[in-house]
């Protein structure tokens, strides 16, 4: 039996992400098949585009947690439908799969993930004793699918989405088998580059998969005439990854959309793409961006530049200078 990368899209907007994801996997030379699960929310034109990029496009019925209370805590009412992700266990034509959210991007070859066993996933940046369900290794099984569905109906999800459900179902992940803990580099959430810049500066070059979590997705980002992404200050460190996403989209996905009815059907959603001037990039995975200049504001919001003026050696130097001035007085 064969192995496959699997993703899910429930509407035309996320389909843009899925198409770019497929492009990135082919770019890094994967030898596995590409599968996209789709629901009725995906239009016919977009469906045709997906069939050009993926080896298999599989229609599935939507599932929804209908858990407004927990979804409100996340401020993400759209995540209830991510329960549909559970359908991936029904793909029994494959012996092993790696699930990828449609808002991730492969930066380098990572087929070695298929050497991992179920259920392997990377720690979540927000709560490391939980895994992030944007990337995980699994073995399709109707028995597992039935058990997860039963568990969902009886227990539900502590966050209203698939991540809370799967963390509860695979509850021994934090402590039972460390070999099922994927390195963070296989699912680096974009926000981590802001919250722990020193680690990103050191390990960023090893990142294999980047995950654009949150409500602002790459396909919703605007670029100015100089090719600079119009993003908030907390996202500046993801600039190179966003630019790579847009390079792949502009070169291979956008022309396909423009030729198909998908672009016409979703013109309102993608009208900014038609006037987008794609920035120029190198073809290789982007290196970590240079650390920003440290400022008082960085300290006040808890994000000083630990590689620059806030480095340990510089702090010691400042202390020594201060003590020397006091001694001289």
What is the structure's pLDDT at 237? 65
Distance CA 34, CA 280 (A): 28
Who wins on pLDDT, 16 or 194? 16
* pLDDT at site 285: 41
Residue 180: φ, ψ to 5°: -95, 5
Distances in whole angstroms, Cα of residue 205 to Cα of each of 52, 245, 284: 31, 16, 11
Q: pLDDT category, 149, cuts 50, 70, 90? A: confident
Query: Pick from 137, 102, 65: which is nearest to 217 by CA?
Result: 102
Q: What is the mean pLDDT of residues 16-35?
A: 98
How many Å apart are CA 164 and CA 31, to the nearest integer?
Answer: 31
Tell me: pLDDT of 21 over 80.
yes
pLDDT at 226: 66
Alpha-carbon Rg for the chain in angstroms: 22
How far apart CA 48 and CA 94 sit, in angstroms, is 23
Residue 293 scores a pLDDT above 70: no
d(CA 18, CA 20): 5
- C-alpha–C-alpha distance, residues 14 and 16, integer Å: 5
136 forms bridges with which residues in the sheet? 99, 121
d(CA 85, CA 25): 20
Strand duo 131-138 + 120-123: pairing: antiparallel
pLDDT of residue 271: 45
| Stated pTM of the model | 0.77
Please determine, for residue 296, whether its predicted confidence score (pLDDT) is greater than 70. Answer: no
For residue 283, give the H/E element and its range: none
pLDDT tens-digit series, residues 254-280: 999 988 866 554 444 444 454 444 444
Q: Could you give the CA distance from residue 317 to residue 218 in angstroms, rounded to a whole number? A: 41
Give the Cα separation of 19 and 23 in Å (integer): 6
**Amino acid 211: pLDDT:** 94
The domain 2-274: what is its CATH number? 3.90.550.10
Domain boundaries, the chain: 2-274, 296-328
State how far the alpha carbon of 183 is from the alpha carbons of 128, 129, 150, 254, 310, in Å.
Answer: 12, 14, 30, 32, 28
Which range, of 7-21, 53-67, 137-151, 246-260, averages the lowest pLDDT? 53-67
- The Cα 132–Cα 125 span in angstroms is 8
319 cis-preceded (ω within 30 degrees of 0): no
Query: Which is more confident, 189 or 100?
Result: 100
Pick from 77, 83, 62: nearest CA to 151: 83
Contact criterion met (CB below 8 Å) for 8 and 102: yes
Burial class (CB in 10 A: 0-12, 13-18, 19+), 6: buried
Count of C-beta atoms within a 10 Å radius of residue 316: 10
Helix or strand run (H / E) with residue 241 = helix 239-248
């Amino acid at each position: 039996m064969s192995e496959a990368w699997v993703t899910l899209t429930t509407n035309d907007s996320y389909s843009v992400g899925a198409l770019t994801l497929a492009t990135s996997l082919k770019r890094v030379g994967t030898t596995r098949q590409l599968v996209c699960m789709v629901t009725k929310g995906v239009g016919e034109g977009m469906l045709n585009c997906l069939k050009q990029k993926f080896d298999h496009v599989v229609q599935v019925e939507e599932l929804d947690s209908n858990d407004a209370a927990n979804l409100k805590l996340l401020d993400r009412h759209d995540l209830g439908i991510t329960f549909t992700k559970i359908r991936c266990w029904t793909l029994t034509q494959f012996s092993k799969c790696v699930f990828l959210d449609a808002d991730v991007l492969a930066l380098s070859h990572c087929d070695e993930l298929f050497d991992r066993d179920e259920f392997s996933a990377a720690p979540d940046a927000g709560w490391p004793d939980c895994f992030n369900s944007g990337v995980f290794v699994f073995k399709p099984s109707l028995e597992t699918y039935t058990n997860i569905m039963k568990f969902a109906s009886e227990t539900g999800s502590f966050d209203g989405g698939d991540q809370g459900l799967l963390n509860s179902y695979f509850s021994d992940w934090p402590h039972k088998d460390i070999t099922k803990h994927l390195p963070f580099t296989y699912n680096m959430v974009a926000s981590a580059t802001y919250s722990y810049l020193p680690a990103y500066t050191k390990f960023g070059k090893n990142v294999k998969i980047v995950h654009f979590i949150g409500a602002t997705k790459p396909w919703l980002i605007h670029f100015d005439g100089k090719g600079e992404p119009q993003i908030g200050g907390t996202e500046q460190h993801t600039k190179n990854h966003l630019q790579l996403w847009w390079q792949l989209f502009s070169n291979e996905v956008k022309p396909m959309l423009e030729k198909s009815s998908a672009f016409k059907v979703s013109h309102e959603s993608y009208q900014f793409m038609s006037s987008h001037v794609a920035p120029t990039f190198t073809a290789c995975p982007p290196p970590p961006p240079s650390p920003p200049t440290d400022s008082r504001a960085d300290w006040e919001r808890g994000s000083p530049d630990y590689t620059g003026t806030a480095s340990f050696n510089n702090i010691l130097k400042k202390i020594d200078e201060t003590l020397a001035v006091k001694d001289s007085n």
